Amino acid sequence: MSEQAEHSTGGVYSSKGKEYARDTRYLPTRLKRAVAPGEDAVAIEPGRYRLIAARACPWANRAIIDRRLLGLEDALSLGLPGPTHDADSWTFDLDPGGVDPVLGIHKLKDAYLARDPQYPRGITVPAIVDTTTGAVVTNDFAQITLDFATEWKDFHRPGAPDLYPEALRDEMDQVMRRVYTEINNGVYRCGFAGTQESYDAAYDRLFAALDWVEERLTTRRYLMGEHITEADVRLFTTLVRFDAVYHNHFKTNRNKLIEMPALWGYARDLFQTPGFGDTVDFEQIKQHYYVVHSDLNPLQIVPKGPDLSGWLTDHDRGSLGGSPFGDGTPPGPVRPAERAPHTILES
């Protein structure tokens, strides 16, 4: 894998069998409501921390969605790197002068080096940065969003959904684990397979899992039943990229998302739910994968398609019952400064 791809995906090839293996050694520090003595955590302070999360990245897109669903905009500011980056770091190309207006840096790498001058691993998003020190606190993407749902509750908006309900956590953890290993990471395992054998095995694993969620979603509106949870956020960010990128770029081409009735209806249902589709920028997504992964796409030509109008069509998922926010309410309109530049949704 190229060095660019390593920074893009947070993964590296294993040396055994040339299979794709994601480097999951993240900065383990957590942001918490209360910190015990000796715990590797810092106390949450509204306004002190900044979420750096590129719209192009599926792992970062999760954090953007959760922040919006829960109404954390006032407590946690948002910095948005551009969709492409060099081999060294994600960069703030979308900001005036190419500099993040709060952190004052061009490269996210500077915030990692402020934490550890010898930081040895990939410069990944999402990352939460302490604005008082300029240093990354954590880049543990899975824990970041679970903590948004639990540790940041004091700063949730009125009517925010419970994305990690206690009564469902045991089953949710199992579902999310399978979604992560087989689907979220499964598309990368196909795309960066180093041999025909490893690709074939990855392909079979991916579509076995997609068939599993297709069956699960045939009789229930959301992964955990009647309301959206963190499990849906995690599946959505892969589904929304599937036809636009993964089907072609990562050779996940048994079928398209639009050819799986339950999954396609489910994905449209979520896309049209406030907090999901309004965080998605298909142009940035395509630019990222087709430009940064130059080992897979040497000419860096970005496809014009696919036709995106289907995302706005009726899905009839309401016939399964349930409601996205349960007893809560949808988030309000996207703040103008945070509106996705190429959204296909109306204002």
Annotated binding-site members: 90
Could you give the CA distance from residue 265 to residue 61 in angstroms, rounded to a whole number?
20
* Among the ranges given (17-26, 68-77, 324-333), the one the predictor scored with the smallest mean pLDDT: 17-26
Among the candidates 112, 128, 155, a domain finishes at: 155
- Is residue 344 domain-resident? no
CATH code (residue 306) = 1.20.1050.10
The verdict on 120 and 171 lying in the same domain is no
| Eight-state DSSP code of residue 250 | T
The verdict on 262 and 205 lying in the same domain is yes
The verdict on 83 and 189 lying in the same domain is no
The verdict on 103 and 235 lying in the same domain is no
The verdict on 10 and 137 lying in the same domain is yes
Cis peptide before 306 (omega within 30 of 0): yes
- Is residue 161 domain-resident? no
The verdict on 300 and 178 lying in the same domain is yes
Residue 79: pLDDT above 90? Answer: yes
Could you give the CA distance from residue 147 to residue 29 in angstroms, rounded to a whole number?
12
Give SS3 for 51: strand
Scan for tokens 């079928």, then name that residue: 255
Domain ranges, residue 183: 167-338
Among the candidates 155, 180, 215, a domain finishes at: 155
Residue 4: pLDDT above 50? Answer: no
The verdict on 137 and 226 lying in the same domain is no
pTM: 0.95
The verdict on 150 and 178 lying in the same domain is no
Residue 188 known to be catalytic = yes
Could you give the CA distance from residue 256 to residue 258 in angstroms, rounded to a whole number?
5
Annotated binding-site members for glutathione: 90
Per-residue confidence (pLDDT) for residue 21, from 0 to 100: 77
- Is residue 257 domain-resident? yes
Scan for tokens 């500077």, then name that residue: 110
Q: For 175-186, give the secondary structure using H, E and C.
A: HHHHHHHHHHCH
More confident residue, 238 or 18: 238
Residue 55: pLDDT above 50? Answer: yes
Which one is catalytic: 49, 164, 188, 203? 188
Which one is catalytic: 57, 199, 266, 289? 57
Mean pLDDT to the nearest integer, 107-120: 97
The verdict on 111 and 207 lying in the same domain is no
pLDDT digits 0-9 by tens, 264-276: 999 999 999 999 9
CATH code (residue 79) = 3.40.30.10
Q: What is the identity of the amino acid at 326?
A: G
The verdict on 304 and 187 lying in the same domain is yes
Rounded to the nearest integer, the mean pLDDT of the chain is 94
- Domains contained in the chain, number: 2
Residue 190 known to be catalytic = no
The verdict on 136 and 257 lying in the same domain is no
